[in-house]
């Protein structure tokens, strides 16, 4: 009996390919070429499943070229690369990779906050350039993390992980804004208080963005919001490009209207706005918040297990549009 055909759209751990190959005929992408939309659509013409990452956009046009497709398994918790409505209309299940990356990503959010507030990369570049000739009293003075007010926008699992690190580890006063308020037990666990977006912007010493990307969250931080922030404040974005208006942020950083920013995600990434590259008060990392070996392996395993679970037993682990399962 021939095995069902699936596509793995990006290079991935060999053991994940081997695991998938026990169940499926796998077309993979070991050279990690980034396919155009037309190439991806052509490759999906005879596939029942696809393993995607954030770089593959699955929309109505791609789905129309994939008549046999039943599942798209994303190796990411965020799934703004999926048009979920179009997938549901086409009877295609989407799955994401939640939970397995929560603590690793919260660790990184905190690392980026620390690096930004304490001017870590800026000072390292200075040292490496051979410019450190003497100590001085105000050299690379930044702002404190401990005891300061941490504002978190987006209080899902990762936001809660960052809140706990701040409140329990660094004695921070944690305030948050979210579409819905957490229940009292979760708030107590995170030692976090719910405030309006405006109060958060005005009172936080440091702001971390962990909100999922959608049309509604586009430019959650733009010129108006940056104007409300303290001039001493740091802004950290580990959510998605497009949550921050990068042009407005670059202007605010240039004019020192806020102190500094730490960015792991960018509008139009992997391109980065050229103004950000020239500024010293911004820490820039290439979308690596979930990048530890065990976590990336866990994410890849979860995506693979969603493909295997759905295509062999009709039982995906982390479905996004559950309605599709009932229809099939």
For 196, counting Cβ atoms within 10 Å of its Cβ (0-12 exposed, 13-18 middle, 19+ buried), the class is exposed
Q: In what order do the strands lie in the sheet with 93-95?
A: 25-27, 5-8, 49-52, 71-74, 93-95
Q: Nearer to ligand 8YV by C-beta: 79 or 310?
A: 79
Residue from the set 48, 76, 117, 236 that interacts with ligand 8YV by CB under 6 A:
76
Catalytic member of 157, 219, 269, 273: 269
Q: Please, what is the minimum distance in Å from the beta carbon of residue 256 to ligand 8YV? A: 30
Examine residue 210 and tell whether it contacts ligand 8YV (CB under 6 A): no
Whether 22 is a known active-site residue: answer no
* Footprint (CB under 6 A) of ligand 8YV, residues 272-301: 290
Residue from the set 101, 192, 250, 302 that interacts with ligand 8YV by CB under 6 A:
101
For 125, counting Cβ atoms within 10 Å of its Cβ (0-12 exposed, 13-18 middle, 19+ buried), the class is exposed
Evaluated on CA atoms 27, 306, 300, 266, the torsion sign reads: positive
Q: Nearer to ligand 8YV by C-beta: 54 or 151?
A: 54
Whether 287 is a known active-site residue: answer yes
Query: Two tokens at 314?
Result: 């009709």
* Footprint (CB under 6 A) of ligand 8YV, residues 47-66: 53-54
Whether 56 is a known active-site residue: answer no
Q: Please, what is the minimum distance in Å from the beta carbon of residue 226 to ligand 8YV? A: 23
Q: Please, what is the minimum distance in Å from the beta carbon of residue 77 to ligand 8YV? A: 4
Q: Give how many residues touch ligand 8YV by CB under 6 A.
A: 8
**CA–CA separation, 134 vs 66, rounded Å?**
64
Q: Nearer to ligand 8YV by C-beta: 17 or 101?
A: 101
Q: Nearer to ligand 8YV by C-beta: 9 or 249?
A: 9
Interface stretch with ligand 8YV, choices 31-39, 73-81, 164-172, 308-316 (CB under 6 A): 73-81
Residue from the set 58, 77, 92, 250 that interacts with ligand 8YV by CB under 6 A:
77
Examine residue 78 and tell whether it contacts ligand 8YV (CB under 6 A): yes
Query: Two tokens at 205?
Result: 């010493």
CB 261 within 8 A of CB 235: yes
Evaluated on CA atoms 284, 285, 286, 288, the torsion sign reads: negative
Catalytic member of 118, 240, 267, 296: 240
Q: What is the CA radius of gyration of the chain?
A: 22
Q: Please, what is the minimum distance in Å from the beta carbon of residue 301 to ligand 8YV? A: 14
CB 268 within 8 A of CB 241: yes
Q: Nearer to ligand 8YV by C-beta: 63 or 101?
A: 101
**CA–CA separation, 203 vs 313, rounded Å?**
51
Q: What's the CA angle centered on 297, arms 293 and 301, to 5 degrees?
A: 175
Residue from the set 20, 75, 93, 276 that interacts with ligand 8YV by CB under 6 A:
75
Return phi, psi of residue 227, to 5°.
-65, -25
Q: Nearer to ligand 8YV by C-beta: 77 or 324?
A: 77
Nearest of 68, 53, 57, 61 to residue 6 by alpha carbon? 68
Q: Please, what is the minimum distance in Å from the beta carbon of residue 296 to ligand 8YV? A: 7
> Which residues lie near ligand 8YV (CB under 6 A)?
53-54, 75-78, 101, 290
List the catalytic residues: 240, 269, 287
């Amino acid at each position: 009996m021939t095995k069902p055909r699936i596509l793995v759209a990006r290079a991935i751990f060999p053991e994940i390919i081997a695991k998938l190959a026990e169940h499926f005929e796998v077309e993979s992408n070991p050279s990690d070429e980034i396919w155009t939309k037309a190439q991806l659509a052509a490759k999906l013409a005879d596939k029942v499943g696809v393993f995607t990452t954030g770089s593959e956009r699955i929309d109505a046009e791609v789905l129309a070229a994939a008549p046999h497709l039943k599942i798209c398994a994303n190796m990411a918790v965020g799934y703004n690369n999926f048009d979920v409505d179009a997938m549901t209309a086409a009877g295609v299940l989407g799955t994401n990779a939640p939970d397995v990356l929560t603590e690793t990503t919260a660790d990184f959010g905190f690392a980026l906050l620390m690096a930004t507030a304490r001017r870590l990369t800026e000072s390292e570049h200075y040292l490496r350039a051979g410019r450190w000739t003497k100590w001085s009293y105000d050299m690379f003075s930044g702002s404190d993390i401990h005891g300061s007010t941490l504002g978190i926008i987006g209080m899902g699992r990762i936001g809660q992980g960052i809140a706990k690190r701040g409140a329990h580890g660094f004695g921070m006063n944690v305030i948050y804004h979210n579409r819905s308020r957490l229940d009292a037990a979760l708030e107590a666990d995170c030692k976090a208080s719910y405030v309006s977006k405006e109060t958060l912007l005005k009172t936080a010493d440091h702001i971390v963005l962990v909100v999922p990307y959608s049309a509604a969250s586009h430019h959650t931080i733009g010129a108006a919001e940056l104007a409300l922030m303290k001039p001493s404040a740091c802004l950290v974005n580990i959510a998605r490009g497009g949550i921050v208006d990068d042009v407005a942020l670059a202007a605010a950083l240039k004019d020192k209207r806020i102190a500094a920013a730490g960015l792991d995600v960018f509008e139009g990434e992997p391109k980065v706005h050229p103004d950000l590259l020239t500024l010293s008060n911004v820490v820039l990392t290439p979308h690596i918040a979930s990048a530890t070996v065990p976590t990336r392996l866990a994410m890849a395993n979860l995506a693979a297990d969603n493909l295997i679970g759905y295509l062999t037993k009709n039982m995906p682990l982390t479905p996004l549009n559950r309605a599709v399962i009932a229809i099939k």
